[in-house]
Amino acid sequence: MQTQTHELVPHPAHPPAQVRGVSAKVIGHDANWLRLRWRIEGSGALVVPAFAGKGRADGLWRTTCFEAFLQPDGESGYVELNFSPSERWAAYDFNAPREGMAERPMPREPDSTMRQGSTFAIFDAAVPAQGLPTIACAMGFTAVIEEEGGILSYWALQHGGEAPDFHDPACFTARLAAPPPA
């Protein structure tokens, strides 16, 4: 499987302090798992939420978290996936941008890990494929990055407005092929 690295850009209204870049990519996709990776460059002041153990949680976007959006081809609805370095996660379905939000069922909990070096951090998430769309999708990679001092920056493949809005379909510029059959 070929993986393409996608460079995310910070929203101009919320610039980072020390973070120099955020990239994301699919590192694996088969009938069992969708594996995603985000890399943060310049992570010396990164705020990492405390370990909380696996489990669903809302409001993960209030501090450092990583998100993916999947919009099946030909549909107005989409899936939002949120992952925290605390190991908390969330999954939602939407009928249209920010409309009809409902908790998305997952057959089992996603897995995630965060590794930090002196100047970079890597966050990996593995999502059960049985809980995801089974057709090709437009995809959005996003990240909320908190740095020391409460500095929040909002990173996406593209931004469409004056305020950060990861639900804007203009952010869904990547592609995710349908998983191969089991």
For residue range 122-170, list pLDDT tens digits in order. Answer: 999 999 999 999 999 999 999 999 999 999 999 999 998 899 999 999 8
For the domain spanning 6-176, the CATH number is 2.60.40.1190
DSSP-assigned beta bridge partners for residue 106:
none
Nearest-angstrom CA–CA distance, 90 and 12? 27
Identify which has the larger pLDDT, 82 or 2: 82
Q: Angle at the Cα of 26 (from 84 to 133), degrees rounded to 5?
A: 85
CB distance 125 to 106 below 8 Å: no
Q: How confident is the model at residue 2 (pLDDT cuts 50, 70, 90)?
A: low
DSSP-assigned beta bridge partners for residue 65:
144
Q: What are phi and psi of 171, to 5 degrees?
A: -80, -15
Q: How confident is the model at residue 3 (pLDDT cuts 50, 70, 90)?
A: confident
Structure tokens at 154: 């909002």
Q: How confident is the model at residue 58 (pLDDT cuts 50, 70, 90)?
A: very high
Mean pLDDT of the chain: 95
Is the pTM higher than 0.85? The answer reads yes
Q: Tell me: the pLDDT tens digits for 84-108?
A: 999 999 999 999 999 999 999 999 9
Cβ atoms within 10 Å, residue 36: 26
Question: Residue-wise over 125-148: b if at least 16 C-beta within 10 A, else e?
Answer: bbbbbebbbeeebbbbbbbbbbbe
State the average pLDDT over residues 31-53: 96
State the average pLDDT over residues 35-41: 98
Q: How confident is the model at residue 53 (pLDDT cuts 50, 70, 90)?
A: very high
Q: Give residue 179's pLDDT.
A: 83
Contacts of 124 (CB under 8 A, 6+ apart): 27, 35, 36, 37, 112, 113, 114
